[in-house]
Amino acid sequence: MAEHNELGKLGEEMAVEFLRKDGYIILQTNWTFQKAEIDILAQKGNTLAVVEVKTRSSLDFGLPQDFVKPKKIQLLVKAVDAFVNERNLDIEVRFDIIAVHKEGKSFVIEHLIDAFYHF
């Protein structure tokens, strides 16, 4: 596996653990619908958090969250609509980003709640 794939997988694992510690129930990870993949679907109360995880080895090229592009957002919206409809859920949906970056020998995790909205 390429090094950046391993870093991305590690970032997703850290994000899951971070969310669990914050009281979220992890419903699915790496859930796919057509061409879209949702990194994490987590629930806290009556809110479904659709979480995109961005992991970077450094901030040299910008913040991890800056790499979530409009096309990706559109795919996520389409995918979560399918997820909610398939399960007939009556729940608030929110889009979050968890940005993970390496700082020295450790990682910094930032949870951006309501990071973007439906188009």
- With 0-12 CB in 10 A as exposed, 13-18 as middle and 19+ as buried, what is 24? buried
- With 0-12 CB in 10 A as exposed, 13-18 as middle and 19+ as buried, what is 99? buried
Q: How many CA atoms lie within 13 A of 115 on its CB side?
A: 25
**pLDDT score for 4:** 62
**pLDDT score for 119:** 42
Res 25 pLDDT > 60: yes
For residue range 52-69, list pLDDT tens digits in order: 998 887 777 776 667 778
Read off the pLDDT band of 5 (50, 70, 90).
confident
Rounded to the nearest integer, the mean pLDDT of the chain is: 88
- Do 34 and 51 form a contact (C-beta atoms < 8 A)? no
For residue 91, the SS3 value is coil
For residue range 63-96, list pLDDT tens digits in order: 666 777 888 888 999 999 999 999 999 999 999 9
